[in-house]
Chains A and B, each alone.
Chain A
């Protein structure tokens, strides 16, 4: 009987993940033992400190290039870069989550179990308390994302997917106002997410089958084995193609790529805005981190097979996102469709299989994350007595009422539209350049054409804010508390700096753009 060998585990390399998961557990204990009125502060501090500690560990590990925990986790350049990105963006999202100065009690429901739209529900909307479980949930999600971008086999990846998805489903349901919309969003996200997970798992099974039978290797779902199997497996290629397709569906669902995007607008609209911001920034990073690793490491040798299909998906995503954004009348839905279109641009970067393509995609993820967080931070501020005023017609004349926030939002919209001197332009260049260099001219042309379409809805919002007269119903902009101000300023400054002087981050991304295999 062969002896069971324990895999060696590099705890230092895993420290960011362990810190986040540990902090989440601490958060659960805080819920149990700390008095209600102190929980908010304690929870916020615990989660923020954990994020900072994890970020410190990522920085300390910056030179790690290793595979640990058997072959389950790869800590390499892309992992560390994306983990760092997730942590920074998550810290900003936590700042938005913790804001309580804008609305009494914050953006989250006081008692989630109360029937929506009942008299009791209206009372809770005015009450001072808000659930503090959101912090451990968010911390769990962040931990899951950190694993997701580091996973070096498909099973670890699947578990990470569930670890970060389940808390997100819950978080979506916790909006303080418009409870029905919020619950609907959570249910939709959960149902479709469950399907996507099932697809992913089925794909894992098929790939496992495909890897069996290689001489001198046992079957497995770690990326080195899959890569070897793509080159020399005697099994039918149908297994490979079907498996790849199913895996891609699971990942593209999280990335909000068409035609797996239908949940995005509803969920983005219904979820509490800080959670939407968190999803738009961090989930995107995690999903694309996994896509990059799966397609650049595991299936690299099959790039001739998947590029046309993923290319079509990319074009479709850009097209759907851009065209449907034109018709939106709700700012959160507009940003959702814009996020879909941006997923398309990111896919263009994923399909440029070079070092530049990889670093460009990672740069894009960070730049977009900062901008989108800032955008949603502004959305949380534009409100009336009934909560956030998200209908676009309500934004008319905002520039007259509060020129500062309208300027900030205009700047972010110009960044989304890709005007130079904003990160929106440099990041588009960072993905389109390598794609063209790799001969993907058709993707770049599609990207440019859809950018033109997409400029229109952004411009319409600018027109609304500046060139329309304020109406009776133009809401006021709430004075943000310190937390929202901090998140907003970080996002805006990063959008400007990455547009004017992108070189440092590009250097960092280029230095990190090498997978361990």
Chain B
């Protein structure tokens, strides 16, 4: 089974599905939705099989496949997954069917074609899988850039208020980052002896000056993508304007490409530069945690608020990455997964609220819990997960990041901890203003607000809630996969952990 070309099939399958869905007649939107949903479930099944076939104590990179593409430049279709990529692929495979289900009626009110919406979601899934599965820098870049196109049309064609502005801003920001990366990719290709193979490139010795420039090229692209302060301004606009399902994917997965890229490319390929720039990156991450949290407190738009909380969370991930300990690194990767689940859930729930109310403004709600108690309860749960309450999955990762960085850099850990307090502020205040307190009389006049969760929505929410609780109490299946890959990354940059043997400490912490 381990010889099955999992990664290439996983990448291509959603694309085929997208073609099928796009070719379905416009007049039969329900059929398109069903086909897209079933297709994404098939992808999920395939990913689960891959997860089972992955050997935890095996090679760092597994399922490696390589086919020549442009021999003149040494470009190959090389796919390979380490533990970090594996958990991200799994996250995508879980989120996409749920997002499709959650977006069942999102495109109905739009004047655009409904099949096109679901085809775009599947194209997006293809590019997202590709970007995490690629082990060829050129191939990675191709997916990194092409990913923009479906997202651009999802935001621009199906989004809400100010969607044009948001879509263009999203595209330009990402493209600018991508072009900096292109220059660095070409530079890497030249110094690396005209190969794009990740494993070959990680062996190349680069002079200090060049290494720093190349690091900057990659880092800038990833910092915009993630986004880190001060490159974050596109996210609230894009997240605020995108339809809720697309926003969940945008923040839940797409932005992880940035942090994943730093772990996979910036650290192992340019270890010395990474160490040299680490203080700056940590500073950006810390500013992001505090600044974005403060902005989140002041938001009146639910989707923008969630977007700002994400920027704060990406700050935590950044701290975890640049602390250079296995604990913090494992915490960061785990955070990427948990944040995808928690923020994905939060976005979807918020989307359900907005769809009922017809407005995203917090001030338009108030006491909604009296009308839709279950939905309000789920919102509360998603909020608690987002502020990393013990017992929910994000707590484990946040805790790992903090203790992992505390051992090497106490001030950073202390400042980052302040972010937890602010997180409580923005989440609880948001929940209070929307679902608690006296009932806003305007709400009772809206039909939608009298409908609590229907079966479809419950099916969307249940797996996410279950996963968040499960990983909150028992993260071992995920940490076991992540840990060797993070350790290998730390070896690449020549950092060893200061305190006791890392393997045991991580497991103790995660219990």
B residues contacting A by CB (< 8 A) are 69-73, 141-142, 145-146, 148-149, 153, 156-157, 163-164, 167-168, 171-172, 175-176, 179-180, 182-183, 186-187, 189-190
Q: Decide yes or no whether A412 CB sits under 8 A from chain B.
A: no
A432 to B180 Cα, complex, angstroms: 13
B interface footprint on A436-475 (CB within 8 Å = 1, 0 otherwise): 1100010011001101100110011001001110000000
Binds B, one of A46-54, A236-244, A479-487, A501-509: A501-509
With A456-B172, A503-B71, A503-B72 as known contacts, state yes or no: A419 contacts B190, CB within 8 Å: no
Cross-chain contact A448 with B73 (CB below 8 angstroms): no
Add 11 more A-B contacts to A429-B186, A448-B180, A468-B164 (CB < 8 A).
Answer: A414-B149, A419-B146, A448-B179, A449-B179, A455-B175, A459-B172, A501-B70, A502-B72, A503-B70, A503-B71, A506-B72
Cross-chain contact B72 with A467 (CB below 8 angstroms): no
Q: Residue of B at shortest CB range from A438?
A: B190
Q: Which of B73, B142, B163, B167 contacts A421 (CB 8 A)?
A: B142
Residues in chain A near residue B157, CB distance under 8 A: 466-467
Q: Which of A417, A425, A463 contacts B168 (CB 8 A)?
A: A463
Q: Which of A414, A444, A460, A503 contacts B183 (CB 8 A)?
A: A444
A444 to B180 Cα, complex, angstroms: 10
The minimal Cβ–Cβ distance linking A131 to chain B, given in whole angstroms, is 43
Cross-chain contact B180 with A436 (CB below 8 angstroms): no
Q: Which of B73, B168, B175, B180 contacts A429 (CB 8 A)?
A: B73
A residues contacting B by CB (< 8 A) are 414, 417-421, 425-426, 428-429, 432-433, 436-437, 441, 444-445, 448-449, 451-452, 455-456, 459-460, 463, 466-468, 501-503, 506-507, 510
Q: Residue of A at shortest CB range from B177?
A: A452
Q: Which of A452, A460, A501 contacts B175 (CB 8 A)?
A: A452
Q: Residue of B at shortest CB range from A421?
A: B146
Residues in chain A near residue B176, CB distance under 8 A: 452
Residues in chain B near residue A452, CB distance under 8 A: 172, 175-176, 179
Residues in chain A near residue B141, CB distance under 8 A: 420
Q: Residue of B at shortest CB range from A441?
A: B187
Q: Which of A420, A428, A502 contacts B142 (CB 8 A)?
A: A420
A510 to B141 Cα, complex, angstroms: 24
Q: Which of B70, B183, B189 contacts A445 (CB 8 A)?
A: B183
Residues in chain A near residue B182, CB distance under 8 A: 418, 428-429, 432, 448
The 8 A-B residue pairs with the shortest CB-CB distance in the complex, in nearest-first order: A420-B142, A506-B72, A467-B164, A448-B183, A437-B190, A467-B156, A448-B179, A452-B176
Cross-chain contact A466 with B72 (CB below 8 angstroms): no
With A420-B146, A436-B190 as known contacts, state yes or no: A463 contacts B156, CB within 8 Å: yes
A507 to B72 Cα, complex, angstroms: 7
With A463-B156, A503-B70 as known contacts, state yes or no: A455 contacts B172, CB within 8 Å: yes
Cross-chain contact A433 with B142 (CB below 8 angstroms): no
A293 to B69 Cα, complex, angstroms: 31
Q: Residue of A at shortest CB range from B145?
A: A420
The minimal Cβ–Cβ distance linking A315 to chain B, given in whole angstroms, is 15
With A455-B175, A459-B171 as known contacts, state yes or no: A510 contacts B72, CB within 8 Å: yes
Q: Residue of A at shortest CB range from B153?
A: A466
Residues in chain B near residue A418, CB distance under 8 A: 179, 182
Q: Residue of B at shortest CB range from A414?
A: B149
Pairs across A and B, CB under 8 Å, 8 listed: A419-B145, A419-B148, A421-B142, A425-B142, A436-B186, A448-B180, A466-B153, A468-B164
A506 to B71 Cα, complex, angstroms: 9
A27 to B70 Cα, complex, angstroms: 43
The minimal Cβ–Cβ distance linking A84 to chain B, given in whole angstroms, is 19
A293 to B72 Cα, complex, angstroms: 23
Q: Residue of B at shortest CB range from A420?
A: B142
A432 to B182 Cα, complex, angstroms: 10
A132 to B179 Cα, complex, angstroms: 46
Cross-chain contact B168 with A459 (CB below 8 angstroms): yes
Cross-chain contact A417 with B70 (CB below 8 angstroms): no
Residues in chain B near residue A507, CB distance under 8 A: 72
The minimal Cβ–Cβ distance linking B175 to chain A, given in whole angstroms, is 5
With A420-B141, A452-B175, A503-B71 as known contacts, state yes or no: A436 contacts B156, CB within 8 Å: no
The minimal Cβ–Cβ distance linking A25 to chain B, given in whole angstroms, is 41
Cross-chain contact B156 with A506 (CB below 8 angstroms): no
A445 to B187 Cα, complex, angstroms: 11
Residues in chain B near residue A419, CB distance under 8 A: 145-146, 148-149
Cross-chain contact A463 with B72 (CB below 8 angstroms): no
With A502-B70, A506-B72 as known contacts, state yes or no: A466 contacts B186, CB within 8 Å: no
A452 to B172 Cα, complex, angstroms: 8
A284 to B336 Cα, complex, angstroms: 49
Residues in chain A near residue B164, CB distance under 8 A: 463, 467-468
Q: Residue of A at shortest CB range from B182?
A: A448
- Of B148, B172, B175, chain A has the most CB atoms within 10 Å of the CB of B175
A421 to B143 Cα, complex, angstroms: 9
Cross-chain contact B163 with A433 (CB below 8 angstroms): no
A441 to B191 Cα, complex, angstroms: 12
Cross-chain contact A436 with B71 (CB below 8 angstroms): no
Q: Which of B146, B156, B180, B190 contacts A466 (CB 8 A)?
A: B156
Residues in chain B near residue A420, CB distance under 8 A: 141-142, 145-146
Cross-chain contact A467 with B145 (CB below 8 angstroms): no
The minimal Cβ–Cβ distance linking B151 to chain A, given in whole angstroms, is 13
Q: Residue of A at shortest CB range from B116?
A: A403
Q: Which of A437, A467, A502 contacts B167 (CB 8 A)?
A: A467
A432 to B141 Cα, complex, angstroms: 15
Residues in chain A near residue B71, CB distance under 8 A: 503
A397 to B72 Cα, complex, angstroms: 41
A502 to B71 Cα, complex, angstroms: 10
- Of A433, A441, A448, A456, chain B has the most CB atoms within 10 Å of the CB of A448
Residues in chain B near residue A463, CB distance under 8 A: 156, 164, 167-168
Residues in chain B near residue A428, CB distance under 8 A: 182
